[in-house]
Chains A and B, each alone.
Chain A
Amino acid sequence: MSERVDPGFIKEMKHYGTSDWNACFHCGNCTAICPFTENESLFPRKGIRQMQMGLKDSLASNVDPWLCYYCGECSDTCPRNANPGEIMMSLRRYLTTIYDWTGLAKRFYQSKKWEFGVMILLALLIMILFIFFHGPMTRELTSEGGVQLNTFAPWKKIEIGDWIMAGLLSFFLISNILNMYLKIIVKDRQLKVPFRFYIIEFWSLIVNFFTQKKFSKCEKDRTYWITHLLVMTGYTIMFILIVVFLGWFQTDAIHPWWHGQRLLGYYATFGLLVGIFYFLAGRFKQNTQKNKYSHFTDWSFLILLLLTTLSGILVHIFRVTGLPMLTYYTYVIHLMILFPMLMIEVPFSKWSHLAYRPFAIYFYNLKKRAMNRQLQPVLQ
């Protein structure tokens, strides 16, 4: 079946960060230098051509952009300065909007008004909820000298909110992943994936989610991978603490420093801070290929994460040093940043890659395995 070309597609891609779209003349140096490209996935050139020609169906089923971790070697080697690495990045942004069936991702990526508008709305929602439903703002301290945060914001009530949020996030993210699965695996009519492959390859999904071991092979310098791993684990620990173990995490008691609650909290805070400052510094200095071009969503993501972390630290400090009013206000501000950030970033924007990347590797492995099986009789 021949696919219709679409010259208008390039205009759309410009929203996702592609600038010099036609500089590439397909010498293939990028594919040759890329440490990840294999016979089954000849990126970045293939994706660049699909973009130039506006082959939207081919792109939607193309898993390659997620297999790229943007080491930037292709852009360094490109004789035309076509910046293949950044095109792969913008294709990831584009694919995020394609997997999202609600259309919100597209709005957030294409329009600052939408992104910041929704962010403010969600923040106001949190504020209103606190105005109407907050507990007594007592100035009385606990016997240890800490603030009675659970009186102002009982963890049981907050946990209900957390669960609602986690439910929404899961619903959007999982439905988007299903959509991704439809486009990559199901739509490929020639591809037949036996059920056992799904089980065999499931291990790679888990391993890649937690270790990002593929990423570690991307660069000679492992600093980036380690930093990224710090952020990822810090974030995951924090997320689990607030959604699953909020009663254990949000206490009025001041535990000794070696207590698990504090150690985990400090590790997560440390991981997030190191990562955020490392990434922010990189984007300011533009010292590597992947840092040279920043989409506005890259900045808003990092800044929101930084503000969340900083406000979280302040809540902790104010609580243990016994400053009740500051604790309460900072707590509300903390949630006013945290909630919009998660709602926008996780299912609809940059943070969705935490799910799309491991699933892309999973789908790619399935595809490769199935294709090899289908080819075998031919080869014999």
Chain B
Amino acid sequence: MGLREFVIRRILLMIPTLIGVVLLIFAVTQLFTPGQRATLYITSEKQMSRIPDIIRQYHLNESVLLQFSDWFSQVLQGNLGYSRTGGGPVLQVMLRKLPATFELVIWSIPITILLGTYLGIQSAVHRDQLPDHVTRTVSIIGYSLPTFWLGIMLIAIFFSGLGWFPPERTGAQAFNYIYLSGHWRYYTGLLTIDGLLNGQPWISLDVLKHMVLPTATLVTIQIALIIRVMRSSMLEALGKGYVTAAKAKGLTNTQVINKHARRNALIPTMTVAGLLTAGVLTGVTITETVFNIDGLGRWAAVAAGGGGTVPDVPAVLGFALFAGIVYVITNLIVDVLYAYIDPRIRLG
């Protein structure tokens, strides 16, 4: 079929899913009262008092189709409503809080993948021996831990107990420098990189220290998935004919494992990368809450009910929409990568 046709076809397939995502979010909005739904259309605090007008303006008591066209056109213009807990229009709030979450994700996902594949391979190669049992036990424990509990325990042990790694995103000194001193320039929004670009490497180190625990939390929970899939696909690859054939060529065991089996085993593992994204998006919500990091996850958690009795509807829905779109696009990227790597698909 060729790579180009495959990519085009895959993108075309993505479109109905994206439409469906939008439709589903809209369906969820219909479960709310008209008053709550009105908050999806306002853009500032002041407009809160004009809610009855808004209800009339956007036909929030009338037909569903009208509501959908109104709502969708607003969404396309970037108006996802006003977030009370974020103190601004939803889209702006999301963009403001995105870097913190992104930084956490950028550190967690590669570590999870690299460490997970390595452990998975070791597990498969030493099947039913000590490394295998230890790895599987540890990964199953990681998978069974409630994310928030692990976070709290890590804080209690490594911060309160040992004083090594603090929670939150920065320490007090760095906080002052970044937010209050006026010297700071935002290059990427990622504090670890910006610290270097600003010529203040101590800030980067400080942020890294702060990120150890939340990253450890996310990695511990997610790594079990990668280990499991890598192990089983590796076991499958090791049982294949080309492994015996490779041995018959006189290759060392390491060569056979790394060169022949591993590349084949990585292919099915890639398909799980999508699930990994979902897990990370979920994990980020709780991890940011526990470690008090001001990112998208904590914002959505507070919006849902952490702040009080009235949920901040546009925030939660905005986050849900964001999560859905990110997930769909991640799956697209993974599928394309998968097609590229597996020559059976790439060349048809």
Q: Do A and B associate with each other?
A: no
Chain A residues in the interface with B (C-beta under 8 A): none
